[in-house]
Amino acid sequence: MISFELPQPYLLFLADSTEPGFAKTALGVKDWAPERCVGELHLPGGTVTTGLPELTPAQAYERGARALLVGVAAVGGALLPQWLSTLVEALEAGLDLISGLHTRLADVPLLAQTAARTGRRLFDIRVPPKGLPTGTGRRRTGKRLLTVGTDCALGKKYTALALTRAFRARGVSADFRATGQTGIMIAGAGIPIDAVVSDFVAGAAELLSPDNEADHWDVIEGQGSLFHPAYAGVSLGLLHGSQPDVLVLCHEAGRTVLLGQPGFRLPSLVEAIELNLLLARRVNPQVRCLAVSLNTSHLSEAAAYAAIRDVQEQLGLPCADPLRHPVQFAEVVETCLAYAPDLQLAPVLS
């Protein structure tokens, strides 16, 4: 696992993003580490906002910011050419740059040269550790919960963070295990799973959640979806390497097609649970899906409660939006903590 000590506070760069799903880094850092954020910065045409004041790099520096954090991602995690002049402006204003894109800041000549000239630093978060092992499937001690999804960018990270916070509030030993750039920026440590060579994804997940005390929970941030034609490979490697005891399925109410893939419909919740369990049983026959985390951010309060009731009636599982419904989410938490393996199932071979 990699640990990071990042310069802060941050100016959140939202570029010209118009889709919240592609600005989840900025939104996540603002929601889970607001004390580290002083403002946001857009390019013309950008409409996504964190609610922070709009600041230029120079204004942000005057208010205490010490880094510009790239809070958006294009498809494929590329750094787009139209962003460069603003990133150069930030360096010249005295800000370091932090990015979780696949395109590394240090590999962009203009940014590397400007950083060297101004004495500023470039932090690339999406760099996996060297020497990762392949997965073994060996049964590990401790308990593990993995958030899985019907699609990308619909609440797997938020759910894992909320569960970790709730577990700890109940006196339970628990760690949030970050697997994406935003989670790493929030937690300060983790492994960027989608930057790992495919043969080593399961091994990286095993390294991320090693043997632990019998009553300790590792709450692992899920990535992608088994149903996404671009990212299913990452999801499967993480599923096998995490070796979860408990799955929490994450879904956005009302979403019908995959993000960035309009030709592909989302699976039903039943199908999503069945496929995740089928594949997770390869490494842990006792795995269970115990709850659904429902993102209702686009619904009214009445519609959100109705959507939750529909899921509960359909699946017979507790369901809640972790950010809106504390009573229902408490039931999700307690159900997960009450996990007990089914002794009638065959043990995992060692």
Q: What is the pLDDT of residues 273-314, one digit of tens each?
A: 999 999 999 999 999 999 999 999 999 999 999 999 999 999
Give the per-residue pLDDT at 344. Answer: 53
Tokens of 63: 């208010």
Residue span of the structural domain in which 99 resides = 2-124
- Count of domains for the chain: 2
**343 occurs within a structural domain:** no
Residues 200 and 102 in one domain: no
Domain boundary among 65, 94, 124: 124
| pLDDT tens profile 196-244 | 999 999 999 999 999 999 999 999 999 999 999 999 999 999 999 999 9
Instruction: Please report which confidence band the pLDDT of residue 348 belongs to, taking 50, 70 and 90 as the band edges.
Output: very low
SS (H, E, C) the chain: CEECCCCCCEEEEEECCCCHHHHHHHHHHHHHCHHHEEEEEECCCCCCCCCCCECCHHHHHHCCCCEEEECCCCCCCCCCHHHHHHHHHHHHCCCEEEECCCCCHHHCHHHHHHHHHHCCCEEECCCCCCCCCCCCCCCCCCEEEEEEECCCCCCHHHHHHHHHHHHHHCCCCEEEECCCHHHHHHHCEECCHHHCCHHHHHHHHHHHCCCCCCCCEEEECCCCCCCCCCCHHHHHHHHHHHCCCEEEEEEECCCCEECCEEEEECCCHHHHHHHHHHHHCCCCCCCEEEEEEEECCCCCHHHHHHHHHHHHHHHCCCEECCCCCHHHHHHHHHHHHCCCCCCCCCCCCC
* Mean pLDDT of the region 255-261: 91
Q: Tell me, what CATH number does 103's domain have? A: 3.40.50.720
The answer to the question of residue 63 being in a domain is: yes
Q: What is the pLDDT of residue 345?
A: 53
- Let me know whether 194 and 262 are in one domain: yes
CB 315 within 8 A of CB 270: yes
> Which of 89, 124, 159 corresponds to the end of one domain?
124
The mean pLDDT of 157-182, rounded to a whole number, is 97
216 and 90 assigned to the same domain: no
What is the reported pTM?
0.89
* Inside any domain, residue 344: no
